[in-house]
Amino acid sequence: MEKNSGIARLIVFIILGLVLGGILGEALGAFFGQIGVMAGAGVNNPVSTLFVAPFEFGYGINQSEVIDLYMVKLRLGLSFKFNFCSFIGLFASLYIMKWSR
C-alpha cells in the first residue's frame, strides 16, 4: 500500500509542477512581451519567446479534423505543450516533494 501511495503522490507533484510552471511561463511571457513593446522590441522579443515558446508533441487526430456523427462530434488524440517554466516548475515540485515528508 505504501508504494502505491508514493507513486500517486509523485504523479500529483509532477502534474502540479508542470501546470503551475506553464501558468508562470505564460504570465512571465506576457509581462516581458509588454516590456518589449515599451522598449521598442515588439511583443515577440527573445526574452518573451524563451518563456512562451512551447515544445509541443501529440498523437491522434489533428485539431482541425473531427469525426462528425451529426449529433456528436469526436476529436480523438493526446497532445502535450511544455514551455521553459514548465520544466522549472517540475524540478521545483520534485524538490519540494523530496523534503515534504
Per residue in 33-63, pLDDT (tens digit) is: 676 556 666 666 676 677 777 777 777 666 5
Give the mean model confidence (pLDDT) for residues 10-38: 80
Q: Is 12 among the domain residues?
A: yes
Would 75 be classed as within a structural domain? no
Residue 85 placed within a domain: yes
Evaluate whether residue 30 is within a structural domain.
yes
- Grid coordinates in use for 29? 511571457
Does residue 13 belong to any structural domain of this protein? Answer: yes
Query: Percentage of the chain with pLDDT > 90?
Result: 2
In a domain, 61, yes or no: no
* d(C-alpha 16, C-alpha 39), whole Å: 34
Task: Give the domain extent around 47.
Answer: 2-54+81-99
Residue at 69 is within a domain: no
- How many distinct structural domains can be found in the chain? 1
pTM of the model: 0.67
Q: How far apart are the first and last CA of the chain?
A: 17
Confirm if 48 and 26 have CB atoms less than 8 A apart: no
The amino acid that residue 54 corresponds to is: P
Answer whether residue 91 is part of any domain.
yes
